[in-house]
Chain A
Amino acid sequence: MNAKISIQQVQKSFRVRRNLVDSNDQKKPLLALGEITLDVKPGEFMVIVGPSGCGKSTLLDLLAGLTRPSSGQILLDGQLITGPNLDRGIVFQQYALFPWKTALANVEFGLQTKGVPRKERRDIAQSFIQLVGLSGCENRYPHELSGGMKQRIAIARSLAYDPEVLLMDEPFAALDVQTRETLQSELLRIWEATKKTIIFITHGIEEAVYLGQRVAVMSSRPGRIKDVIEIPFDKCTKGEDVRTHPAFIRLRHQIWDLLKDEVERAQAQERGDTLQSSR
């Protein structure tokens, strides 16, 4: 067994506190994730795709060590994950840059936590800002950057402290289409340059097929891994027109077929939730 990250029979349930609903419902814990088992190989680009509310972000929080699974375990290099650590870097959809710090200082943030000396810190941060293509913007504050630039800085920040695994939670979902596609190909370039293991969460099927070496499809709540699809493209030959390639389209359809029922069920669940809470 040579997995970088090994998710073993992980379940996660929440106790939902709803003030409006009668007390019977309150006692029932909500099962967000139902038995997830998934291995991610070293250096692999793994995409997890699923309908909204299927527990994708819950899974990511577990991987980050921000919450603990209700049962099962997650191993990183065979070691049990017990809490957050700099061996995993997270990139959030909403960037989560510190608004009072310049781009450079934001990228230095994790390095400072790691105890890297000031001079070295600056050099490393600068090189990662260069890697994400934002040289010259080091001294700008986040509010002076566009959404795409913010996300580049956030990626640089997570890469700078050299984590083993990069966890990305729908990082491009808030961006416009052009910026998103540019950043997708940039991310592949960065992945090839840094050889990081990446776990990338999205609800975009095309994004999943374009980025991933394997795509894990999740079911609606309680989230399970429904299937894992191999994407047999060689990343290096992925050119500009790969999205129109017949094989690409076929894979997209295959994943859509897997997801279709789940999306419908997830939407029904959401409607049910709204009805319940408005009762």
Chain B
Amino acid sequence: MSNTPMSNAHTGDTLVLLKKERTTQRRQRGMRLTFTTLYHVFKRTIVILLFLSLWEVAPKLGWVDATFFPPCSEVLKAWWGLVQSGDLSEHVEASLARSLGGFCLALLISIPLGLVVGWWKSVAEYLNPLLEIFRNTAALAILPVFILLLGLGETSKIAIVFYACVFPLLLNTISGVQNVDPLLIKSARSMGLSSVSLFRRVIVPASLPTIFVGIRQAGAGSVLVLVAAEMAGAKSGLGYLIQYTQFSFQIPEMYAGILSISVIGLGINYALVFLERRLTAWKSTYTDG
């Protein structure tokens, strides 16, 4: 029950702060700034804290079977155990290497290909139906094919991640190129730009936001597909860890594995959002007080 009173106290403090702030005049800018950040943090974390508390309390009060659903603190303990024994880092490393490998390979192939295909409208018209079929064929449904062709080793895992990433990237890149504002192209052409520089200086930057939609879809997909692939046949990786701990009835460790995956997924997503903000900074609005 260690988390509950703490989070309650935190909530209470913030509420008191909120009331105090409302009554005091808002002339002092600095004060108001800390209040706003506090309020922001509160808004972002309160539901998570409540969820963690529920997770902690429910097994302890016997609402759910603690054997299959151990409290949060026990899972964290198991997680720390895995960190200390070095098991976790080994599995995380294996998983990240595979998903980043497949993801980067897909980036290298899909984006240039998508730019070219998008540019030639007729090629895109011919290719799109097939690409749509491939994209809508769940990557995991093809996993047996990959295993048959490429065996159980690293190749088939990287290949499945690659497959899962390639189509969202390709389709978004194609539509990004196709949806560039024709007026911008007209304007650039009227300045006598050659096709090559038109492509480099107008088409690519203009389609970047749409390409990034694909990159984020692929990023999320890469983790998702990989974990499932590791469950189907692997000797390392987080998917394997989860599967293995379940079979050997190490339930807290299993949850620790699941938790690690959410953290990694979250991390990848934030990293991509950050990169997107940096690369498409021109879209963000001026906030000049």
Q: Give me the interface of A with B, judged by CB distance under 8 Å.
A: 64-66, 83-86, 88-90, 92, 94, 96, 98-102, 109-110, 112-113, 140-141, 143-144, 161
B215 at the interface (CB under 8 A from A): no
Contact yes or no, B282 A101, CB < 8 A: yes
Contact yes or no, B183 A96, CB < 8 A: yes
B residues near A84, Cβ cutoff 8 Å: 189-192
Among B3-11, B156-164, B201-209, which stretch is in contact with chain A? B201-209
Contact yes or no, A100 B197, CB < 8 A: no
**In the bound complex, how far is the Cα of B187 from the Cα of A113, in angstroms?**
13
Mark B195-228 against chain A: 1 for CB-CB distance below 8 A, else 0: 0010001100110100000000000000000000
Given contacts A92-B183, A94-B183, A113-B197, contact A99 B191 (CB under 8 A): no
Q: What total of A-B pairs shows CB separation below 8 Å?
A: 58
B184 at the interface (CB under 8 A from A): yes
B286 at the interface (CB under 8 A from A): yes
User: What's the least CB distance linking B207 to chain A, in Å?
Assistant: 11
Residue in A98, A110, A113 whose CB lies within 8 Å of B184: A98
Contact yes or no, A90 B190, CB < 8 A: yes
B186 at the interface (CB under 8 A from A): yes
Contact yes or no, A144 B285, CB < 8 A: yes
Q: List 24 A-B contacts (CB under 8 A).
A: A65-B190, A66-B186, A83-B192, A84-B190, A86-B192, A88-B190, A90-B190, A92-B186, A92-B187, A98-B205, A98-B206, A99-B206, A99-B283, A100-B205, A100-B206, A100-B208, A100-B280, A100-B282, A102-B282, A109-B188, A109-B191, A112-B201, A143-B282, A143-B283
Given contacts A64-B190, A84-B192, contact A96 B205 (CB under 8 A): no
B193 at the interface (CB under 8 A from A): yes
User: What's the least CB distance linking A201 to chain B, in Å?
Assistant: 14
Residue in B192, B193, B197, B282 whose CB lies within 8 Å of A99: B282
A residues near B202, Cβ cutoff 8 Å: 98
User: What's the least CB distance linking B42 to chain A, in Å?
Assistant: 31
**A contact patch SS:** loop
Mark B21-41 against chain A: 1 for CB-CB distance below 8 A, else 0: 000000000000000000000
Q: A-B pairs with the 7 shortest C-beta distances?
A: A96-B187, A100-B282, A90-B190, A141-B282, A96-B183, A110-B191, A100-B205
A residues near B184, Cβ cutoff 8 Å: 96, 98
User: What's the least CB distance linking A39 to chain B, in Å?
Assistant: 22
**Least CB separation from A102: chain B residue:** B282
**Least CB separation from A96: chain B residue:** B187
Contact yes or no, B191 A86, CB < 8 A: yes
A residues near B192, Cβ cutoff 8 Å: 83-86, 113
